[in-house]
Structure 1
């Protein structure tokens, strides 16, 4: 085994490990962010009276757009922090697919590059297509 194959093999193994560990790290990170947001929410609004659930009131644009969620997170708004945690959770499988695409590209496995590109495009289209502008 020459040095080039050994180096390439190590890089492939590193990417495989990263792809395997990404979902766990993403779920743990998202859970921690949501937990922090929940704690902040309870500290600020825990003694508020119970809301009326007889009529549905949707969230305003601050919590349904990417910019609004990021802005509210920076302002330490508890609902914004919770929504940011949900965004991290949703981004986890998309990042895993993108990382897999990168790995298949390094391996020059063009069939899997094509299939993974299609899957990534479908995921991004369905995710971004649901956002309000």
Structure 2
């Protein structure tokens, strides 16, 4: 197929064959291209509407998914930073104290509610700062569900509004229902 011409200074490859072009013939010359190009309106209207609505939902949900990913990423980073900061402060103050594992001390009552955690942080409690970080970590997915709910209400997608409302209700009940 290829010949190899070599000289002392250079090497080149040259084709040994020629290219021949053959015209293609249409098999069915009696077909009407206009009837193929115009689909019937009755069968494709509903399909077109469903496809356009689905593509609209996909296009509109892309900013939502980007917003939710940023919300989760930065929410976890913020919560981790607050826990780390509170942990460093706690270890600076109590790091050299001996630990007594013989006795179990429960959680103080001030850390059993979100308002108690905020009060402890405002009073300068190092454990309160750690608890605030944990509270932020729990609040991040709840905020994600709230943002999703607002987005679905704006889109008037009532099925997703109903589902998201049920999820939000369950999350809020599990957070504050025990208090």
So what's the TM-score if we normalise by structure 1?
Answer: 0.83
Alignment match, 1:43? 92
Q: CA RMSD in A?
A: 1.9
Question: d(CA) in 2 for partners of 1:25 and 1:71?
Answer: 24
Question: d(CA) in 1 for partners of 2:163 and 2:145?
Answer: 11
Alignment match, 1:7? none
Q: Give ranges in structure 2 of 5+ residues lacking alignment.
A: 1-58
The reply to whether residue 89 of structure 1 matches residue 137 of structure 2 is yes
Larger-gyration structure (1/2): 2
Alignment match, 1:19? 68
Q: What is the aligned length?
A: 122
- Structure of higher RCO (CA pairs closer than 8 Å, 6+ residues apart): 1
Question: d(CA) in 2 for partners of 1:24 and 1:115?
Answer: 24
SS state at 1:59 partner: coil
Residue pairs, 1:60-71, within 5 angstroms? 60-71=108-119
Give the helix-richer structure, 1 or 2: 1
Q: 2:173 aligns with which of 82, 100, 125?
A: 125
Runs of 4+ in 1 over 6 A off after TM superposition: none
Question: d(CA) in 1 for partners of 2:94 and 2:151?
Answer: 46
So what's the TM-score if we normalise by structure 2?
Answer: 0.63
Question: d(CA) in 1 for partners of 2:155 and 2:147?
Answer: 13
Q: CA deviation at 1:13?
A: 4.8
Question: d(CA) in 2 for partners of 1:39 and 1:20?
Answer: 28
Alignment match, 1:4? none
